[in-house]
Amino acid sequence: MRIIFMGTPSFAVASLKALHEHHEVLCAVTRPDAPSKRGKKLYPSEVKACALELGIKNIIEAKSLKSQAIQDRLASLKPDAIIVAAYGAILPQAILELAPCINVHASLLPRWRGAAPIERAILAGDKVAGVSIMKMEEGLDTGDYCYQISTEVGDKSAAELEGELAHLGADALIKSLDALESGKISWTAQDESYVTYAHKIDKSEMILDPSMSVEEFLAVVQASGDSYPAKLKVFDRTIRVLKAKAEQNCELDQSQAQKSKKTLVLRLLDGCVSIREVKPDGKKEMPVQSFIAGIHEEEGSWSSL
């Protein structure tokens, strides 16, 4: 099939690679190059970098698809389908009418429509997450779906879960296009009574606090990422917590911190957590043993930022 692909972050890369292997990718549409968090140098999106690596020369970089020139350019390609995976912009009706528009969405719709389905699933304590292959329409992730696949969330980080779902979604996408091409595709309407929304994550939600329960603390750490790190202050040092687990038999008071040669334990509202991996401000990621090696106190306090 002749495919126009639209996507931007790493989640979309697996789908682009699968499409390139099984179909003809006419064009890759992605968000423009953007500066990194440090410095003003511009970097391509993961999809643009992948497209260049695959030899896809027709690349459109656009924050919006409202431009008549872009719409005309896409229409001239005469695609059989338009595939979208986390592109990051709304598709105008004119684009939706060009060809069947199919979205690779990282949730089990109708649960978690919206921008941050993976993180919201983790924060809500969902036992399973998944991918839906859905038909796009004007509403936010409201279209019928033809394929869903799930996986256990477990203790996977948001990045690990995203990587797994990206590959599951790519496989599901190819199967769905096979069904579309053969005329055997079947669509299922979403049950509106089960709709939840995955609103964009705010950095303030990722600030760790002693008033949290152990369950809340661990969920925030698990759902955090480079764009919204889980941070706290301990022994007068600001750190990002990358890995943690519940600690049993803890006798500390709330907001207390205790270190030994191998662990850093923090007391929360209803129990304690053991910090396993951190990233101090201005430094690289490291096991907690490396971080606490520079701390002389055995006990201290911790707080939110």
Residue-level pLDDT at 37: 65
Share of the chain above pLDDT 70, in %: 99
Q: Is the pLDDT of residue 151 over 90?
A: yes
Residue-level pLDDT at 162: 98
Domain boundary among 167, 198, 229: 198
What value does the mean pLDDT take over residues 135-153?
95
Q: Is the pLDDT of residue 134 over 90?
A: yes
Give the three-state DSSP class for 254: coil
147 and 62 housed in the same domain: yes
Helix (H) or strand (E) holding 100: none
* CATH number of the domain where residue 128 is located: 3.40.50.170
Range of the domain at 210: 203-303
173 and 217 housed in the same domain: no
Find the Cα–Cα–Cα–Cα dihedral 266, 268, 270, 274, rounded to 10°: -30
Distance CA(255)–CA(235), nearest Å, equals: 11
**pTM attached to this predicted model:** 0.94
Give the three-state DSSP class for 88: coil
| pLDDT 10s digits, 183-230 | 999 999 999 999 999 999 999 999 999 999 999 999 999 999 999 999
46 and 121 housed in the same domain: yes
249 contact partners, CB below 8 Å, separation of at least 6 = none
| pLDDT 10s digits, 60-92 | 999 999 999 999 999 999 999 999 999 998 899
128 and 24 housed in the same domain: yes
Q: Kindly list the distances between the CA atom of residue 87 and the CA atoms of 5, 90, 171, in Å, as whole numbers in the listed order.
A: 9, 8, 19
* CATH number of the domain where residue 231 is located: 3.10.25.10
70 and 139 housed in the same domain: yes
208 and 62 housed in the same domain: no
| DSSP line for 224-247 | -BTTB--EEEETTEEEEEEEEEEE
* Residue 76 CB-density burial (10 A; 0-12 exposed, 13-18 middle, 19+ buried): exposed
Q: Are 26 and 105 in contact (CB under 8 A)?
A: no
37 and 112 housed in the same domain: yes
| pLDDT 10s digits, 253-297 | 999 999 987 899 999 999 999 999 999 998 999 999 999 998 989
160 and 91 housed in the same domain: yes
298 contact partners, CB below 8 Å, separation of at least 6 = 258, 259, 260
Residue 125: both structure tokens together: 């304590």
180 and 207 housed in the same domain: no
∠ CA(30), CA(36), CA(40), 5° rounding?
110
Q: Are 155 and 222 in contact (CB under 8 A)?
A: yes
14 and 92 housed in the same domain: yes
173 and 290 housed in the same domain: no
Domain boundary among 198, 228, 262: 198
Q: Are 16 and 39 in contact (CB under 8 A)?
A: no
Residue-level pLDDT at 117: 97
- Per-residue confidence at 19, pLDDT binned at 50, 70, 90? very high
154 and 228 housed in the same domain: no
Number of domains the chain is built from: 2
Residue type, 145: Y
Q: Residue-wise over 11-44: b if at least 16 C-beta within 10 A, else e?
A: bbbbbbbbbbeebebbbbbbbeeeeeeeeeeeeb
For the chain, the average pLDDT equals: 95
Q: How far is CA 255 from the centre of its chain?
A: 31
Domain boundary among 198, 223, 250: 198
